[in-house]
Structure 1
Amino acid sequence: MSLCEHCVQGVRHEGKPEGQIEMIGGVECYVGTPTVDYSKEKVVLFLPDAFGINLINNQLLVDDFARNGFKAVAPDILNGDAVPPEAMNAGNFDIPAWLANHGRDKTRPTVDSVVAALTDQGVTRFGTTGYCFGARYTFDLAFDGISHCSVVAHPSGLKIPEDLEKYASTAKAPLLINSCTVDAQFPLEAQARADEILGGGKFAPGYKREYFDGCEHGFAVRGDMSNEKVRAGKEGAFKASVEFFLQHL
């Protein structure tokens, strides 16, 4: 796993969260439930960035998925040890030290506990959406045949081209990548490789990549809404995600 400086930068958004904290499979989760009738067999598993489920930005995104008719569950994949919001833009957060305690050996079992509990509740189809840190698990759940539809925004922690090649050969879940101009974790070269490996009809389940010009890593969750291009990117990435889930989940 790896993160860059932009993984712990951004702007805290304003709003009033409408979801609830629930314990699912022994794991604290932030849950957004539609107020209208919805398919109880489907869940959008929201896999957050390093700031975790208590960052208001992530909670508001979960709420937005619920408003669009999907029950959305964001598990605390960081086991109560997310990057604190006050570290945002502080410029002195020790990313390597934090990552040492958040490897897949510690975080993946948490994801699996939630998936197992939701399955026991009758969920049969999982859509996964991973932002930054959470994108690693979106890929892994697709590799393991758990995810039925995958969406990532400015993914972190991927090995390029290995993970893209493995997705092409192993996964059955359609994939949407929301990408941007400045992204050390998923740069333009990686974006081009994704198109080369998965695009042009090569990946039968379905592949799409959206590109948001003038945006940088983190735009889809922690972007500065006072910047017109960034606002358009955040809203565009969310709209693309909803449409992809509506089509494939």
Structure 2
Amino acid sequence: MSGPECCSNPPVLNPNGGAGHVEKLAALNSYLTGSPDSNVALLLISDIFGYEAPNLRNLADKVAAAGYYVIVPDFFHADPYNPENTNRPLPVWLKDHGPDKGFEDAKSIIDALKSKGVSVIGAAGFCWGAKVVVELAKSRLIQAAVQLHPSFVSVDDIKGVDIPIAILGAEIDKMSPPELLQQFEQVLTAKPGVDSLVKIFPKVSHGWSVRYDKKDAEAVKAAEEAHQVLLNWFAKHLK
């Protein structure tokens, strides 16, 4: 279920990065950015490298600038995947940090947001986080969803979704190859009452929207295009 693509281009984590701040929400450290007075919140659910990834926090700040209250929780409880730790290869690490546990934590985050007066919630998930997002979508705990280069998401998962969902995939991706995304698209287009978008980005690889090199102009351009699709989707569906 997991391959080397999930581990490529690991970020250099920075606990102090971003324009926002870290505080506890539902007993989870979370990076918070944007106005806490907004009644529209967005959850950004990280890949296996966790919530301290600089590109992810920069994206959270960009989304917050569009008017959302943005939450990036630490679903790994200070234990993101470390490719240099040979004692805990990815399959071993995943036993402690399955998306099912992320889903349970995400429900607590959503309850905490609602208790603060948030009435509309969307979620975007990256790689590992996409599986958490699809579970939130199937449970109708969010109003709109975006998946970016998803991992672990199945056709049956997509069959269970009946809220607006956008799926952004990479042309070069063994975790969720274009053939699988096309199956997702077939399932979604058979649901006329569910607004959906499936977009395959050419010439990019799994993880491109958050694990890109800032010095690579083409990589930055592709990532920013994905970010804009995400922003447009939530602008359309989170009112």
Q: TM-score, normalised by structure 1?
A: 0.87
Q: Is 2:81 the counterpart of 1:83?
A: yes
1: CA distance between counterparts of 2:192 and 2:91?
35
**Superposition pairs for residues 78-117 of structure 1, below 5 Å?**
78-84=76-82, 87=83, 94-117=89-112
Match of 1:74 in 2: 72
Q: Which runs of 4+ in 1 moved over 6 A?
A: none
Matched residue, 1:151: 146
Change beyond 3 A, Cα 1:229–1:181: farther
Alpha-carbon distance between aligned partners in 2 of 1:106 and 1:177, rounded to the nearest angstrom: 22
What secondary structure does 2:229 align onto?
A: helix
What is aligned with 1:127?
122
Higher mean displacement: 16-25 or 201-210: 201-210
Q: Deviations over 1:47-105 (max 9, x none)?
A: 11111111222211111111121111011111221113xx3xx6967110101111245
Provide the C-alpha distance between the structure 1 equivalents of 2:41 and 2:67, rounded to a whole number of angstroms: 10
**2:207 alignment counterpart:** 218
TM-score by length of 2: 0.90
Give the length in aligned residue pairs. 235
Identical-residue share of aligned pairs (%):
25
Q: Is the 8 A contact 2:138 2:157 kept in 1?
A: no
Q: Does 1:165 find its partner at 2:159?
A: yes
Task: Give 5+ residue unaligned stretches, structure 1.
Answer: none
Query: SS where residue 75 of structure 2 aligns?
Result: coil
Between 71-80 and 228-237, report the one with greater CA deviation. 228-237
Unaligned runs of 5+ in 2: none
Q: Is the contact between residue 195 and residue 209 of structure 1 (CA under 8 Å) also seen in structure 2? A: yes
Q: Secondary structure, in 3 states, of the residue corresponding to 2:170?
A: strand
Q: Once the two structures are superposed, what CA deviation does each residue of 1:96-141 show, in whole Å capped at 9, x if it has no partner?
A: 0101111245333221221111110011111100001000111001
> Whole-Å Cα distance in 1 between the matches of residues 100 and 200 of structure 2?
32
Contact 2:13 2:53 in 1 (8 A): no
Determine which of 230, 233, 238 is the counterpart of 1:244: 233
The root-mean-square deviation of aligned C-alpha atoms, in Å, is 2.2
**Aligned pair in 2 of structure 1 residues 91, 20: CA closer, same or farther (>3 Å)?**
closer
Of 170, 174, 196, which aligns to 1:207? 196
Contact between 1:11 and 1:224, CA under 8 Å: does it hold in 2?
A: no
**Matched-pair contact (CA < 8 Å) for 1:130–1:151:** yes
Contact conserved, 2:33 with 2:61, CA < 8 A, in 1?
yes
Quick one: distance in 1 between partners of 2:138 and 2:182?
21
